[in-house]
Amino acid sequence: MPSKLVLQISAATGAPYVPFLRRNLLRAHAILKPALGEMSLALVGDARMSKLHAQFMGIEGPTDVLTFPLDEDARGRVTSGEVVVCVAEARRRAKDHKERPERELLLYALHGMLHLCGYDDRTAADFRRMHRTEDKILTQLGIGPVFHTSEDVRAKAAAPATAMKKGARP
């Protein structure tokens, strides 16, 4: 297994986030210790992500992250891959969740890295496992959980209303 990740980052947009992403992805890789030895991360805008999303997934419009395994070892583990992250989508979601955009971008990049490391999120159990792993790694990095489910958003929206019913002051 490689001891260090060779990480290339290209930023068509979001260049100021590159140092933060590089530092934290390298640290996340050290925590995971996967077969993954090379990863490229592309930070793109809505137009490029929409094109890729339609081309590879058959879905119109942008998405947060796409992952492309490029090479595997003899055991079928991904050793090289590309992760494409939509900066505009991260900024929108960060604003919605009152989160910093760089944290949202790191979540997406880490999510892509986990896909390259064999994690999946298609079933409910796999979804929970993958997002628990994200939270654990982000916490170890000193960042803390970033992922928000629709239940999290509903709970946050309901909290002030519940507090008001109990007589709490805003």
Q: Is the residue at 1 inside a domain?
A: no
Is 11 contained in some domain?
Answer: yes
Would residue 139 count as lying in a domain? yes
pLDDT tens digits, 10-21 = 999 999 999 999
Asked if the structure places residue 24 within a domain, the reply is yes
Q: What is the pLDDT of residues 99-136, one digit of tens each?
A: 999 999 999 999 999 999 999 999 999 999 999 999 99
Does some domain include residue 170? no
Rounded Cα distance, 41 and 146, in Å: 19
pLDDT score at 3: 63
Question: What single DSSP character describes residue 107?
Answer: H
Domain assignment of residue 69, given as a range:
6-165
| Cα–Cα distance list, 9 to 6, 23, 31, 55, 147 (Å) | 10, 11, 20, 22, 22
Global pTM value: 0.85
Residue 104 domain-assigned (yes or no): yes
**Residues making up the chain, counted from first to last:** 170
Cα distance between residue 161 and residue 170, in whole Å:
10
- Which is it for strands 78-86 and 65-72: parallel, antiparallel or unpaired? antiparallel
Q: Residue 155: is its pLDDT beyond 90? A: no
* Number of domains the chain contains: 1
CATH number of the domain within which 140 lies: 3.40.390.30
Instruction: Look over the chain and give the mean of its residue pLDDT values, rounded to a whole number.
Output: 87
Q: Establish if 89 belongs to a structural domain.
A: yes
Is 38 inside any structural domain? yes
